[in-house]
Amino acid sequence: IKTLKKHLEEKKINKAIIVPHYTFDQKTAFENNKKILEIISKTENIYGGIWANPLPTETEKNKKALESIPHKKIIAIKICPQAWPKGKYTMDPDTWDSELAENMKNIIDCTKKHNLIIQMHTGTGNSDIRHYSKFVDEFGKGLRIQFIHMGSSPGGHFSFIPRFIDWLKKGYDFYCDTAESRGFAASWLVK
């Protein structure tokens, strides 16, 4: 906490959000939620995001994570499809079995009920933005989504940016960041 506070002061950052880093080790990922809750409870200007994972094997951990909400300083739920088995599940609801669908419903309902942002990664494989289209059609209204990395690679940017702009024009409450994006992507999006 001391190091984080010092960094914010040195960089003149007034507020920050911290979230668990994505990892394939789900035990560690969920345990990081405790660290997030500890840090935000001991700092005034730092907010947090809670790790969630809808995999059937993570149902109990996921349920416990969602029970930590509402919390006045939790502003996001982070769900990372890179933690899902490759080739089995994607953000396309047609790939979900009934338990994963129920877990996703719980995450989405919690996000909407408490006006949180759901952070979702974009990139290759399970995170390919093309997998999100049906998800957005079915669940996007009333959901605030931050698409992390804007597609992540040049090909991903070409898939992401036109879809993102189209979703914004349709009135979706979506956001993105430029982390790991290639140089042309941010300027293209702004233009």
**pLDDT tens digit sequence for 41-66:** 999 999 999 999 999 999 999 999 99
Give the chain's mean pLDDT: 93
φ, ψ dihedrals at 55, nearest 5°: -55, 140
- Distance between CA atoms of residues 157 and 129, nearest Å: 9
pLDDT at 182: 87
pLDDT at 49: 97
Tokens 């994570």 correspond to 65
User: Percent of the chain, pLDDT > 90?
Assistant: 78
Burial class (CB in 10 A: 0-12, 13-18, 19+), 101: middle
Q: Is the pLDDT of residue 174 over 90?
A: yes
pLDDT band, very low/low/confident/very high, at 13 (cuts 50, 70, 90) = very high
CB 119 within 8 A of CB 19: yes
Mean predicted confidence (pLDDT) in 32-40: 95
Q: Is the pLDDT of residue 118 over 90?
A: yes
Using DSSP, state whether 146 is helix, strand or coil. Answer: strand
Choose the weakest-confidence range: 41-45, 121-125, 164-168.
Answer: 121-125
pLDDT band, very low/low/confident/very high, at 9 (cuts 50, 70, 90) = very high
pLDDT at 23: 80
Give the closest residue to 147 by CA, choosing from 138, 58, 165, 155: 165
Q: Is the pLDDT of residue 22 over 80?
A: no
User: Percent of the chain, pLDDT > 70?
Assistant: 100
Q: Give every CB contact of residue 102 below 8 A, 6+ residues apart in sequence.
A: none
